DNA sequence: CGCAATTTGTAACAATTGTTACAATCTATA
DNA sequence: TATAGATTGTAACAATTGTTACAAATTGCG
């Protein structure tokens, strides 16, 4: 097997080495090596292929008008680059793609990848799962970012946890993680939680939260 | 042609009536009628099919713990319901789906729709385009919602407009629209713009904005 | 042109959040 | 069971945004 890492890729889930190899043989693909710091794609450039990180590590990076660079995210093996954008209307890379270290990318043209999806239902299904799951994630994040107040975000978060109907939930993240998820600072979140407790909306005991005033909570998460 | 509205559907773009009809014949599908107010799907229910609005109008609606309903969005012909979520991992409807008025839905099982995608590249390509474009849209919105300050959002927005490099851009939305896009109130946006002008970062003349201090603007959109 | 509707500018005050710093509490593990 | 590290609680002050209300400017249209 040339690329054992592909077995662990969500795009090739459920396929064994032989099948992966066989499928790859049926299309054009190439492997490109990028030295640390090398640019694999520029922001605005058309996305013409599926690129899967085989080894090393890549990053997405933006350049603003003043030339400052801002790192957006890392992409590590066996993830694909910009997977949810590839087939978008006039798809262009939203960021510069740069190698964090010496890295290898498996590159399959968009049309060739379409062929793969048509020839193997699992490949198709895997790709659909990847992008739909991504869309679900993005959509959920927007919901939280759209609430105006921290109390609104937290109230909605609580109501979305399993057990909310019974009035008793277990928060499954640290305040630090929650605050990052909400896009606010950690002390502000702690204060908001404290105030909600003072007002009798909830009762907090570390990770366990009892929902005392359902109507009050629902008023907070209005929009 | 049974469903002429499908020609205008993004999922069937590029296919003529005969082709659409032929493809539909090859799979199981059904048409269901919903009276105004009828529930087509409940939040949390598994998504088992692609549902395309043929006539009437549907809406997505949430119910919170206190039983209050919040309308999320309308879906009109020839759009599909929850199209970007259908094939997600353990896909469930994120909202209740309810008929705004008497409506007809074309319903194709997930597996059947997979068959359609495999049998016609255009169907596959159309669906990929729809969900990738949706992911792009969501991703772009998150970028704006993630900036902490209004000035940051506006600075980034300006830098993303065509002509930003030349230092002169035309804002293509009203302040009202922009403020909704940013998730802030209109007067707050106006104030932020006014302050940025006072500080010499930009010069505003109605829709035309000159970028005077690129470095200052880029500092604002740090994130 | 003239009028109505839309869009934008502005102000004062309230509410919310960020920032910074430090203390208290919990948790894993040596 | 100590002890370091992580997590949470809290406070004071600055900065930002929301709210509300009204005026000015612009635009579309008869």
Contacts of B159 in chain A (CB under 8 A): 64-65
> Which of B66, B72, B210 has the most A C-beta neighbours within 10 Å, making it the best mutation to test the interface with A?
B66
Is A72's Cβ below 8 Å from some Cβ in B?
Answer: no
Q: Which residues of chain A have pLDDT under 50?
A: none
Which bases of strand D have any atom within 7 Å of the beta carbon of a protein residue? 6-12, 16-21, 26-27
> Which of B60, B69, B88 has the most A C-beta neighbours within 10 Å, making it the best mutation to test the interface with A?
B88
Closest-CA distance, A16 to chain B, in angstroms, reads 21
Q: How many CA atoms lie within 13 A of B219 on its CB side?
A: 6
Residues with CB under 7 A from strand C: A 148-151, 183-185, 187-189, 191-192, 206; B 148, 174-176, 186-187, 190-191, 193-194, 204, 206-207
**Per-residue pLDDT tens over the stretch B175-219:** 999 999 998 999 999 999 999 998 899 999 878 899 999 988 988
Paired tokens of B109:
């099982």
Query: In the predicted model, what is the mean pLDDT of chain B?
Result: 91
CB atoms within 10 A of CB A205: 7
Q: Where does chain A show beta strands of DSSP type E?
A: 29-34, 39-41, 49-55, 58-63, 69-75, 96-99, 103-109, 168-170, 202-205, 208-211
The C1' atom of D11 and the CA atom of A189 lie apart, in whole Å, by 15
Contacts of B109 in chain A (CB under 8 A): none
Contacts of B92 in chain A (CB under 8 A): none
For B197, the enclosing helix (H) or strand (E) is helix B186-198
State residue A39's pLDDT score: 96
State residue B201's pLDDT score: 92
A183, B145: Cβ pair inside 8 Å?
yes
**Residue whose CA lies closest to nucleotide D21 C1':** B187
- State yes or no: pLDDT of B67 exceeds 80: no
User: Which pTM does this prediction carry?
Assistant: 0.91
Is A206's Cβ below 8 Å from some Cβ in B?
Answer: no
What does the alpha-carbon distance between residue B88 and residue B47 come to, in Å, rounded to a whole number? Answer: 9
**Per-residue pLDDT tens over the stretch B90-122:** 889 999 999 999 999 999 999 999 999 999 999
What does the alpha-carbon distance between residue A191 and residue A183 come to, in Å, rounded to a whole number? Answer: 15
What does the alpha-carbon distance between residue B123 and residue B12 come to, in Å, rounded to a whole number? Answer: 6
A138, B142: Cβ pair inside 8 Å?
yes
Contacts of B211 in chain A (CB under 8 A): 65
State residue A223's pLDDT score: 54
> CA nearest B144: which of B166, B159, B129, B134?
B159
State residue B106's pLDDT score: 96
- Count of A–B CB contacts within 8 Å? 139
Is B222's Cβ below 8 Å from some Cβ in A?
Answer: yes
What does the alpha-carbon distance between residue B74 and residue B170 come to, in Å, rounded to a whole number? Answer: 30
Q: Which nucleotide is nearest to B176 (CA to C1')?
A: C7
Q: How confident is the model at residue B63 (pLDDT cuts 50, 70, 90)?
A: confident
Comparing A200-204, B47-51, B54-58, the range with the smallest average pLDDT is A200-204
The C1' atom of D26 and the CA atom of B202 lie apart, in whole Å, by 21
The answer to whether A3 and A54 have CB atoms below 8 angstroms apart is yes
Q: Which domains does chain A have, with CATH numbers?
A: 4-141 (2.60.120.10), 147-220 (1.10.10.10)
**Per-residue pLDDT tens over the stretch B143-186:** 888 888 999 999 999 998 988 989 999 998 999 999 999 989 99
Paired tokens of A46:
């058309």
B142, A146: Cβ pair inside 8 Å?
no
What does the alpha-carbon distance between residue A113 and residue A116 come to, in Å, rounded to a whole number? Answer: 5
Q: Which nucleotide is nearest to B204 (CA to C1')?
A: C8
Paired tokens of B218:
């880029």
State residue B135's pLDDT score: 94
> Which of B43, B132, B179, B180 has the most A C-beta neighbours within 10 Å, making it the best mutation to test the interface with A?
B132
Is B138's Cβ below 8 Å from some Cβ in A?
Answer: yes
Is A44's Cβ below 8 Å from some Cβ in B?
Answer: no
State residue A128's pLDDT score: 96
Q: How confident is the model at residue B223 (pLDDT cuts 50, 70, 90)?
A: low
Which backbone phi and psi does B80 adopt, to 5 degrees? -105, 155
A165, B65: Cβ pair inside 8 Å?
yes
State residue A37's pLDDT score: 95
């Amino acid at each position: 097997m040339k690329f054992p890492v592909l077995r662990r890729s969500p795009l090739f889930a459920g396929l064994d080495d032989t099948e992966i190899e066989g499928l790859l043989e049926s299309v054009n693909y190439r492997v490109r090596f990028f030295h640390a710091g090398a640019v694999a794609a520029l922001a605005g450039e058309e996305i013409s292929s599926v690129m899967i990180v085989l080894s090393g590590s890549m990053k997405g990076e933006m350049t603003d008008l003043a030339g400052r660079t801002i790192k957006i995210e890392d992409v590590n093996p066996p993830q694909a680059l910009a997977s949810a954008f590839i087939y978008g209307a006039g798809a262009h890379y939203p960021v510069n793609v740069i190698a964090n270290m010496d890295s290898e990318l498996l590159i399959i043209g968009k049309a060739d990848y379409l062929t793969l999806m048509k020839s193997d239902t699992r490949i198709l299904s895997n790709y659909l799962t990847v992008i739909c799951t991504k869309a679900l994630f993005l959509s959920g994040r927007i919901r939280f970012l759209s609430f105006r107040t921290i109390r609104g975000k937290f109230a909605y978060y609580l109501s979305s946890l399993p057990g909310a109907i019974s009035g008793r939930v277990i928060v499954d993240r640290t305040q630090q993680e929650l605050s990052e998820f909400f896009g606010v600072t950690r002390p502000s979140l702690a204060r908001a939680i404290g105030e909600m407790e003072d007002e009798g909306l909830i009762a907090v005991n570390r990770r366990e939260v009892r929902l005392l005033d359902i109507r009050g909570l629902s008023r907070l998460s209005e929009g």
